[in-house]
Structures are given as C-alpha cells and as structure tokens.
Structure 1
Amino acid sequence: MEHSESYITPVSSEPRKPAPDTLTYEQTDEVNDSPIEQVRLTVSITDDPSLPCLTFRTWVLGLTSCALLAFLNQFFGYRQNPLYVSSVSAQIAVLPIGKLMAAYLPNKSIRIPGTKWSFSLNPGPFNLKEHVLITIFANSGSSPVYALGIITIVKAFYKRKINAIAAMLLTQTTQLLGYGWAGIFRKFLVDSPYMWWPSNLVQVSLFRALHEDENRPKAGLTRLQFFLVVLISSFSYYIVPNFLFQSITALSFVCWIWKDSVTAHQIGSGLRGLGIGSFALDWATVSAFLGSPLATPGFAIVNILASFIIVLYIMIPIAYWNNLYEAKRFPIYSTHVFNADGGLYNVSIILNEKTFQFNRQGYDDYSKINLSIAFVFAYGLSFATLAATISHVALFHGRTIWRQTKASVQDNFGDVHTRLMKKNYDPVPQWWFHSILIVVIGLALLTCEGFGKQLQLPYWGVLLAIALALFFTLPIGVITATTNQQPGLNVITELIIGYMYPGKPLANVAFKTYGYISMSQAITFLSDFKLGHYMKIPPKSMFVVQLVGTIVASSVYFGTGWWLLTTVEYICDPSKLPEGSPWTCPGDEVFYNASVIWGVVGPRRMFGSLGLYSKMNYFFLFGILSPLPIWFLSRKFPEQKWIRLINMPILLSSAPGPPARAVNYISWLAVGIFFNLVVYRRFKGWWARHNYILSAGLDAGVAFMAILCYFTLQGHDINGPAWWGMELDDHCPYASCPTAPGIHVEGCPPLVKA
C-alpha cells in the first residue's frame, strides 16, 4: 500500500471550468484538477503516500473522540434544547493532543504477543492523515442512532418493556446495513468527480488551515488565525443565547406589537407560525435543522428559498384561512395529533393494552386523527419528494450514470483525485462489503423474528425494507452528493408497511428504521469515503476506521440512552417532570406521533379511503411529473444554464415543516444567500480562503460553550438571571390557538380577538 514516491504533483495545465451544476461526463486522457469549481478552490491536488495512517495515536484519539461524541449527543438529545456536537469539535481538539503525544511518547517498537505484528507509540510527527482518520472516527460518534427512537418510545411513551439484547441488536444492525449499499455504489458516488459532496469541503478547508504552512497576507490573517478568531468569538458570544438571553434564539416583533391577536401571533411567530418578521441572533438556530448554510451550494439555497416562499407564504395560508381539512380547529403549525374538538389526541383509547395493537372499536367511538395544516402539507410534500427524486435522477443524470457504469467497468474515471488514489493505494475488496451485508441481514432477521417478536416485524418486512433501501440509495446519493440536501425515506417506508401491516406501531417504526436508516447510513459512509478520497487516505484504512467507529458509537449511544431511560424518573413526560426539568425529549415526541399516525391508526385511515387526507396522494403524481418541464426546457434552451439549476427534489424536500420552524429557515436563508451568492460572486478570493473555515469555527465555538455551560453551571442547577429574556420562547402565546368558532383550548381565552 505504501510506495517509494514521497510526493506526487500532477502536470500543470489549465483545468476545465464547466458550471458547478453540470453533470456531463467527459472522458479525457488527462484531467489535472476537478471539474467542480468549489473543489478546485478547496482541495489539494498533491499526496504523500509515505505518511503513516493507522497509528497508535489514531486508535487512542479516534476511539476516545468517537465514544465521547456519541455520549454527548445522546445525552443532550433527550433535553428540551437538544445540542448536536459535530465532529468538527473533535477535529480541532485532537490536534494539540496529537502533537503532544508526538513530542513526549517514546518511539520504541512494541510487539503484539503471539503475532509477528508490532507498532510504535510514536511513529514520528503527528500528520494530516492520522488527523483525518481520527475525524472519521469522530464522524461515527457524531451520527445519531435513529433506532434509539424506537427504544425511547417503547419505554418512555408506550410504557412497555423491551429486551435489552434485542434493543442492542436493533441499534447495531440498523447502523451497519448501509455498508453493503456503500460498497455497491461507491464507484458512482465516490470515484466520480461530479459527485463532489459539498459538506466535506468544510472539513477539507479546516484540515488545510490546521496543517499547511501559510504566509500571513499583508494586513490580513492566515486561515488558522482566522479560524481561531471565529472560534473564540463564537465561543464567547454563545453564552448569551445559551445562558443569559435565551429569547434571542427566536425573536418575533409582530407578536410584541399586537399582543392580543391570535391572527397576528400566527403570522408573526417564528416557532409556531409563519414567522413573518421573525429572526434569531443565534448560530444554533441558523444551523439546527438544515445544517450549515455556508456548506450548501448557492443554487440549492435558491431552490430552498423558492420552496420556503411557495409553501409557507402561499400554500399554507390559503389552505388555513379557507379552512381546508377544518384547519382552523387546530394550530397552524404543530407536530401534535388532535381529536375533532381541537384537543390533544388520547392514544390510549385506540391502542389495546394487552395485544399492543389497534383498537378499532375505541377508534370508531372516539375520533379520527387530525393534523395541523403545516403537518398535512409536510407529509404531502414528502410523497412528492420521493417520486421527484426518481424521475429527476433518471431524466437529468440517467445518461451520466449509464456512462459512469461503463466507465467504472473500464476503470477510467479521470480527475486528479481519483487518479492519485488508484495509483497509490489498493482498493477495498468488494467481498468485505458483501460479507458484512450478509452477516448483518442475518442478525436483523434474528432481531425481529426472535426475542418473542417484540418488534412485531416479520422476516418479509425486513427483506422488503432492505430492498427499498437498495433501490433508493443511488438516486438519493446523487442528490446529496451534488446539493448537500438529503431527501429521506421515512415517510414512504411508513406508508408502505402501514398499508401492508396496519395496526402495529413497532412493526411500522422498525420497518422505517431498517429501510430509511440503512440508506442514510450508506450515504454517510460514502460521504466519509469521499472525504478520505479528497485527503488521499488509503481506502482499507478508511474502511477499518468506519466499521470500528460505527460499532463503538452504536454501543455508546445505546448504553447512554438505556441508562437515561432507566434512571431519569418520568423522562419524556413533561406533565410529570419537576418544573424546569430539561428531559422533555422533543425529537422523540415527533417520532412517537408518527408511530401513532402510521403504525397504530395506519395510512388507510389517514391518507387512504377511510382517512381525512386521501387527496394528499395526488402529491405522488405531482412529484413524478414535476421534473419533466424543467428537463424539457433545459433541452430546448441549452444555452440557458440557469434552467438546470432548478432542482425539483430540493424544492419539494426543503419545504418548511415540523419539527423545523419558520425562524430556522429565515435565519438559514439569510446567511446562506449572503455568503454563497453575494460574497461568492463578488469576493471569490475571500470566499475560497475563509467560507468553510468560518462555518467550522462557528460550529465549534457553539459546541464548546454549550458543553462548558452545562457541566459547570446548568448541570448544577445554576441558571441565568430570572427575567423576560430567559424564556426559551418567542413570546407569541396565541400562535398555537385555534380560530374556529366554538373550539376552546386551555391557554386560549375565548375573548381574545381572532
């Protein structure tokens, strides 16, 4: 795997410069840089294959980072203000530790007893490739384990028991299935230079800033100095929205002007309404649901802006104020399920306690399930997104995928990064991926069919979920690798199993997890492989680190979740928790409501012939047809490059809907438009040097301050000053009130003007 060449520099020539969105395959004998401009501006085209990778330092720092991030993310995930600690935090923190280890550890070789293997505690200076592999370990730890949602709703919401071994196997198998799909599609989604994975450029920029020697420009800063300035500024500022003035996470001045108007609160609330005039002074609000806007291409941001305006400011208001689906009986923007009288739905009435299945008589005597109009459209647009993803990829990228299929067989992909990887390193054998896939499928069948069939999902359900994941990995991978936005399979999987196997909530969520998360994990693995591709990491080292990191992270996530669920009294039950307790599990509440909608009641009584929302199925037809006009216009007017930038899957999948709120989208769009459209076009040199560094510094500063605040202050019940600004709210109390005559909800006095 290692060669004698110490440094490889490609022949210098003018790189190709097609538009970043172009996805045409050009076969040439020599391409000396990437065809994607953002990659050319960010990724180095050199490699030193002599650098050691899987060292003692890599294993110690990598496993520690992986376990620590897994613990922190699961620990904070159950709290009222969930905090996501990204791998960027570990990426920064391990650098000085790695250099200290290189300075002080002995370099004596240590032989492993009973083998011919040996290793050195200190193989030389701490290098870039060790740092990248440690970060891949951290990426595993920072990726949430979706299956914990099943365990949480069983124990905390449905108040039932689940076998610990079955729960552990569920956690591991759902996370590991994606390796099989990653092995099958890596030729298309990693080796292809047109699959450029924009989010990886943030970490590439940071790696280069931390490791490359750079002369400070006159009257300016090096990239590392700029990063430190941003990190310290973000760290210092975040004590304000996190501890001193929490209300600036969502400000809605319309509500302050019209304090007694339900309609004004619905229009102005950034948390429970349309968010007109709302904004935030908090980076965590900006990046909470859509990730960093700095890492999203400008054309994708414009698509999301169009979707935001069409859905939130045209479709939802028209539907609500015309009382579509009796929308005025319920909040305009909510994730809860409601009865016909506008109150919260009592699920215990429609669920048989003994059999843990749907109670049809109870349902017929009680009420159909009702949703807020925003939640209704969120589901409808999810239907459209999946259909549009298939037709969009087939129309715009089908010819390219076919050519890449032939090219992958001939092994002739042609950008500099692929050539360097093929020249210097052995690829991962396909049988490694296939072996893991076969073993994990067997364990998944055991998990669902064994242990008293607690998960309710039969073997054919597991196999069907796997088939769905296999089918959708390539089209969704293409969308993610080119736009930084990932459409999900959660709704389509819920719909399919809900029709085929209704009335069983755990079967529904287990099918969703095996179908959706195995695809999502494959995308994550492929993204990490692309990061290793850009940083010239040996593929076999990448594979080992990803596999071990996933197993360790899944185990720590499970252990942390199980510990909290069994030790925190009344966890996830705000009505019984002590006042001020943070253990309210807002994300798991959405997961629970979905299990009721799709699993207990089932899609036939929600979106089928027996439900209130059957017309939402037309969104499937709309979705599959929607890319056709764009494709036709792009062929009719090929000189109009902007037409190809209209991406219907992104338009549909990025529409605002619960649990993301209007203030998150408004803040995200404002930052994204400024940096990736205005700054990118007018100050491209500054953007190339600083944009991704800025994103990494903001993320890291927020994470470090949040952790410090919790373990030094908030964890010891030391909270900020008691005043109006400490409420984690936008002070629009009537935004969740119904406006239909005769519907009275607690907290919404009938004398309030509508």
Structure 2
Amino acid sequence: MAPLKKPPAAAAEEEEERAERCAVEEVALVVPETDDPTAPVMTFRAWTLGLGSCVLLIFLNTFFTYRTQPLTISGILAQILVLPAGRFMAAVLPDREVRILGGRLGSFNLNPGPFNVKEHVIITIFANCGVSYGGGDAYSIGAITVMKAYYKQTLSFACALLIVLTTQILGYGWAGMLRRYLVDPAEMWWPSNLAQVSLFRSGANGHELARECRALHEKEDGEKSRGPSRMRFFLIVFFASFAYYALPGYLLPILTFFSWACWVWPHSITAQQVGSGYHGLGLGAFTLDWAGISAYHGSPLVAPWASIANTGAGFVMFIYVIVPLCYWRFNTFDARTFPIFSNQLFTGTGQKYDTTKVLTKDFDLNVAAYESYGKLYLSPLFAISIGSGFLRFTSTIVHVLLFHGAYVFHLYRVCCNLVITWSHRSMDCWCVLLGSDMWKQSRSAMNAAKQDVHAKLMQRYKQVPQWWFLVLLLGSVAVSLLMCFVWKEEVQLPWWGMLFAFRARLHRHAPHRRHPGHHQPGMTPQLTRHICHPRNCLNLSSDLALFF
C-alpha cells in the first residue's frame, strides 16, 4: 500500500520547520528548540552565586597559573556545584520583596520561585568569565609579575588594577562590536560549549540522542532503575577523581610526566633529548595526570575529532620532523651547541646568557654592552616555535580563503560594484541612496540572513545595545591613554605606543609582537606592556563570543 501524501500546506510547513532548524547537526541534537520567556533570570540568587563563583574562579585560576604545569578549573565545576546551592537558596529564602532605597532604585524578590535553568545558565556565564579573567587569558597579570619580580619595578595597586581591567574590557568591547559576525550567524558554533549546554537540558525534544543526554535539570524517572542515580554517579566520580589526584599531585609526582626512555638510559644525552617530556621531544613519554592532559588546550573530550586530528598532525610534523631536521641534520643556527628544548637564553658557547650585563639600570638595552658580550641564542625548538607564531596570521587568511573563499569573493565583488557605482554619483545621490528603501531592505536582509530557530527565539528579548560595547571599547582606550600620563614612570609607555597597540589589533595578531620591537627597540618593559593590549583583545573577544 502506497504511503499517503501529505497535504501541500503540511508539507510546506514541515519544510519551513526543517529550514529553521540549525544546520549544524551537533547543535540541533543538544541545544533545545523551545523557550519559556516568563522564567526569571536576573534574580538575587543568580547575582549572588554568579558573582561568588566568578570571584572564586578568578582567584583559583590566577593562583594556579604560576605552576610549571598550569591547572585550570573550568566553569563546568561551578556549573555543577551551584545547582544544589541554588536549590538550597530557593528552599530557605523567604518570598519577600526588597526595596532599594525605599524603592527609588527599584526592588527585587529574594525568592521568585524554584531555581530554574535560566538562572543556572547566567550563573555559569559568570563563572566562565572567572575562568577567562583568572586563567592564561589575563596576560597582563603575567606582565605585572615580570615587572615586579624580574625588573624590580614598583607598581601601585591602582595602576596594576587598571592595566588588568583595561586589557580585559578592551577585548569584550570588540567582541560586542563584532557580535553580528561572531555570534549571530548559525555557522558560528563553539563545540566546547556543547558539553555545558548538555548539562542544562530540561527534557528530551524527540531525538534519541537527546533522550539519552539526561542532565542536571531533568527529573529522575519515577521507576527504580538498575544503576545509580545521576547525582549518586556524579558524587562517586567526584570523590574518586579527588582521591586519585592525590597520587600525581602529592604522593607520586612522577605520574605527571613519565618517560621510560630516560629511565632505561639515564646517562644517555640522546635518550634525554628524545624521550624527556620536560627538556626533550617527549617521544614515548606519557602522563597519568588529567591536569597535564588538559593544561594547555582544554579537555580533549569536548573537542571535535577534526580539531584533535589537525592539532595532532601539526604537533607530529613540528616536533618529530621539523625540529629533528633542524637540530641533527642541518644544525640550524648552531643548534647542537644548545639543549634541544629550553626556554633559557644562551651565549654562542652554550652557556646561560646573563641579561643583566646588557641592560641599563632602567632595563633598556645597552647596545655597546650587548655587542661586547655577544649575541644571544635560543634553543632550536623554542626558536622555531616562536617563529611559527608569526605564521599564524598568514595561515588564518589562507584557511579562510580555502574554506570560505567563494563567499569572500562574492562579498568582494559586491563591494567593488558598489564602490564603482557610488564613485560616479554626486553627494546628492549619496543622500538619496542612504535614505532609500533599497538601503533599508539591504540592511534588513543582512540582519535576517541565515537565522536558525535559536536566533529567532532570542529575538523575543531585548538585545544589549551596541553603544554599550562601544563605551567599553572607547572607555578602556581612554583610561589606558590616561595611565600613560598619570603613571608615566610606572607604565613607561608613551601615548602613541598605546595607540599603536590598539591599531595593531585591528589588522593582525602574531605581528603585534614584532612591530613594537621596531618602534621601541631595546625598551623591554615597554615591549612587555605593549603586547598585553593586542593579545588580550583577541583572546577576550573570542571568550565573549563563546559565552554568547
């Protein structure tokens, strides 16, 4: 018997629903396509737990960045721990209205109802900001540490605080300005977010995979299951991982990095160069410490296989092909005179470079002393890794052209046609064009292009005004320039150098380390602070785009 054909109206409606769904399969299976706009979000519970988790993660992650092997406490831990705290506050807080200054500044309810998933999400966003500010992305904290510990410079608390805040807020300002391109398009999805989103699931949406992804806000089945409950399973894993970390963390630190080659041939220099995980290529070395596995690139469990394979292929090509060829085959830059991997500076004879002999009392380069003492050298692996960093800018452009070249070329042709058309028009024609319906229709078409169901759900809510981000951006620039005059002796960076750092962020990433060295040669403290603003601008803009 032939299947019944659907009516044209039903078929058209089904086709429209399919078109609205997210084109990315992973997102469509994990992120729900429903929303409750009546659920409270910015509650007293959300602000209290959100700010508390943010401050706590900032402190802990900043503290652990000074380890030889950084330890990052992710926002997932806070996401799990705030759930019982939020439910506890919902159970004990009174349902009472609190007026601020007698109601002149508004009011809020201490307990507007049960702890809901939207409160949980906003608290997790707070916590993720704590990870970003407290982790390695707060590059200016490292610069301040270097200024105090290495350059022996005094830096007031107010100046240090403003340096950190301006460098961080600058990136968030740029992220907000570029939100239309980094967040709104359906193609801009962040795989690392799916692990957190799956924990927020409040119910299945009809997909088999979604039914299996039981999460924190999904109620337990009434029937008794054969296995442990989700909360019991979490507690078992939590205490087991806590107990296990005592082995690599305190009792058996050798489990952090274990190299069997160094144990078998303890006196062989070649074995140390090839097998050591600290000072060599790490061939055959392994770790039983999860903090070591996820220290620099995050958890491999949430990254797509393509990203892991791409990173692994690049690692193998760099560590096991390029570096050995430069070291043993070609002896590039007298590489065999130095250790194969070290972050130290060396003289031409392989001795450690004493930088105090080539610096002035202000820690600027003494050219005469440098020429007398001799050039400095880097270990081959360290030198090649720094050099490869300058290739990132070009490789990013090549990647975009290879994977999105057709779209970029289409936009380029459109822009060229517009420029050619407008160049033959007078100023009156410009005014007519800007006020015409064609201009308005083109803007509305751009805003409505490729909007999936999630983007349409977000249209119910009022967006953060664009000028808020512009105020953050311009405010951080203004305060940074003000510091160049108020704390001139501490900052030691001229106002034009600060402006150059901001301009560099508009065009490039890797070259920002090279250009200030040309404009301010030999001025090492200024170069350190110069790098903070462009670097943080990219990192923090990416972080905020991820949080959106």
Q: Does 1:526 align with 2:533?
A: no
Alpha-carbon distance change, 191 to 217 in structure 1, aligned in 2, over 3 angstroms = farther
Q: Which residue of 2 aligns with 1:105?
A: 93
Deviations 1:591-641 (A, max 9, x none): xxxxxxxxxxxxxxxxxxxxxxxxxxxxxxxxxxxxxxxxxxxxxxxxxxx
**Alignment partner of 1:259 is 2:296:** no
SS at 1:365's partner residue? helix
How far apart are residue 41 of structure 1 and its match?
A: 2.4
Could you tell me how far apart the structure 1 residues matched to 2:147 and 2:277 are? Answer: 32
Residue in 2 that maps onto 1:4: none
TM-score, scaled relative to structure 1: 0.62
Provide the residue aligned with 1:162 in structure 2. Answer: 155
Check whether the contact 1:108–1:121 (CA below 8 A) recurs between aligned residues: yes
- Displacement after TM superposition at 1:247 (Å): 0.4
Matches within 5 A, 1:89-238: 89-114=77-102, 115=104, 117-143=106-132, 144=135, 145-208=138-201, 209-213=215-219, 215=221, 226-238=233-245
Match of 1:78 in 2: 66
Deviations 1:15-67 (A, max 9, x none): 99xxxxxxxxxxx7863422112212221111111111110011111111111
Name the CA distance, whole Å, in 2 between partners of 1:300 and 1:443.
Answer: 38
1:348 aligns with 2:385: no
Per-residue deviation, 1:252: 0.8
With a CA cutoff of 8 Å and minimum separation of 6, indicate the structure with the bigger relative contact order: 1
**Pair 1:238–1:412, CA change in 2 (3 A):** same
C-alpha offsets along residues 313-345 of structure 1, whole Å, 9 cap, x if unaligned?
Answer: 111111111321111111111111111121221
Counterpart check, 1:374 vs 2:410: no
Q: Which moved more, 1:274-283 or 1:406-415?
A: 406-415
| Alignment pair present for 1:454 and 2:474 | no
Q: How does 1:341-740 map to 2 (within 5 A)?
A: 341-353=349-361, 355-400=362-407, 409-422=446-459, 424-472=460-508, 489=509, 491-529=510-548
Question: Does residue 73 of structure 2 align to residue 65 of structure 1?
Answer: no
- The number of aligned residues is 489
Q: Give 1:602's aligned residue.
A: none
SS of 2:271 mapped into structure 1: helix
Amino acid in structure 2 at the alignment position of 1:64 = G
Gap runs ≥5 in structure 2: 1-9, 202-214, 413-441
Question: 1:35 & 1:365 partners in 2: Cα distance?
Answer: 63
Deviation of the 1:291 alpha carbon: 0.8
After superposition, the C-alpha distances for 1:62-96 in whole angstroms (9 at most, x for unaligned) are 11111111122222333455432222221111111
User: SS at the partner of 2:139?
Assistant: coil
Query: How far did 1:400 drift?
Result: 4.0
Query: Are 1:45 and 1:417, in contact at CA under 8 Å, matched by a contact in 2?
Result: yes
Amino acid at match of 1:466: F
Which SS does the other structure have where 2:108 is aligned? strand
Query: Relative to 1, partners in 2 of residues 1:468 and 1:399: Cα closer, same or farther, differing over 3 Å?
Result: farther
1:135 and 1:408 mapped to 2: Cα distance? Answer: 33
Distance 1:68 1:219, change over 3 A: same
Specify the code of the residue in structure 2 equivalent to 1:46: T
Deviation, structure 1 residue 157: 0.9
Inter-partner Cα distance in structure 2 for 1:268 and 1:52? 56
Deviations 1:442-492 (A, max 9, x none): 0011123331243232222222222232335xxxxxxxxxxxxxxxx3x42
| TM alignment of 1:10-89, pairs within 5 A | 31-80=19-68, 82-89=70-77
313, 318, 334: which is aligned to 1:326?
A: 334
Distance 1:218 1:109, change over 3 A: closer
Flag structure 1 segments of 5+ consecutive residues without an equivalent.
1-10, 17-27, 473-488, 530-754
Between the aligned partners of 2:462 and 2:45, the Cα distance in structure 1 is 23
For residues 483 and 189 of structure 2, what CA distance do their matches in structure 1 show?
A: 37
Tell me, in whole angstroms, the C-alpha distance in 2 between the residues paired with 1:361 and 1:313: 39
Q: C-alpha offsets along residues 377-404 of structure 1, whole Å, 9 cap, x if unaligned?
A: 1022111111111232244225546779
The residue number in structure 1 matching 2:438 is: none
Report the CA distance shift for 1:334/1:14 in structure 2 as closer, same or farther (over 3 A): farther
Structure-2 change in CA distance of 1:364 and 1:217 (3 Å): farther
Cα shift readout 1:114-162 (whole Å, capped 9, x = no counterpart): 5151111111101111111111111122223211112111111111212
Q: Distance in 1 between matches of 2:389 and 2:71?
A: 26
Q: Could you say what secondary structure the match of 1:110 adopts?
A: strand
> 1: CA distance between counterparts of 2:357 and 2:526?
20
Amino acid at match of 1:469: R
Contact 2:260 2:285 in 1 (8 A): yes
Please tell me the residue identity of whatever aligns with 2:533.
Answer: Y
Q: Percent identity?
A: 44
> Partners of 2:21 and 2:502 in 1: how far apart?
37
Q: Distance in 1 between matches of 2:12 and 2:268?
A: 65
Greater Rg over alpha carbons, structure? 2
Q: Distance in 1 between matches of 2:17 and 2:34?
A: 19
